[in-house]
Amino acid sequence: MTRRSQRLIVLLLGLGALGSASALVLRAFGSNLVFFYSPTQVVQRAAPHDRAFRIGGLVQQGSVQREGGASLLLRFEVTDGAHRVPVRYHGLLPDLFQEGKGVVAQGRLGADGLFVADQVLAKHDENYMPPEAAAALKEAQAR
């Protein structure tokens, strides 16, 4: 075997290893992607039924209901003003979760149109500032 053919084999093995690693990374990346859909897109059946996604909007006023009293299982609706999607969630809610406030829920859409969330994130408005930063600004303005 000549020296040139040995280099060619090493180069081909390196390219094969690089291609395999790239394929594995892309596959892992693709399986972990979670897309965001609005309630209107969910109602219009643009959201997938076979994989997890995120839905976001406002918590509909008067829609939050706990099942079984003090249970961690609750239902609420997410709206974008045009459409509403019922959501069922079992777990602790974030402190900022309130009716009429922004929310993002991650989960899967059932065949019955019920979105079963496994994670709920409450959104704050764009004017939010951490208390420490707000105090620092207030103190700086007082000087």
pLDDT at 135: 76
**Cα atoms in the Cβ-side hemisphere of radius 13 Å centred on 108:** 6
pLDDT at 7: 93
Does the annotation place 128 within a ligand binding site?
yes
**pLDDT one-digit tens code per residue, 124-134:** 766 766 677 67
Does the annotation place 124 within a ligand binding site?
yes
Contacts of 74 (CB under 8 A, 6+ apart): 64, 65, 66, 67, 88, 89, 90, 93
Model confidence pTM above 0.75:
no
Where along the chain do its domains lie?
A: 1-32, 36-122
Q: How many CB atoms lie within 10 A of CB 123?
A: 16
Distance CA 33, CA 25 (A): 12
Distance CA 115, CA 136 (A): 41
Class of domain 36-122: mainly beta
Phi, psi angle pair for 125, to nearest 5°: -75, 170
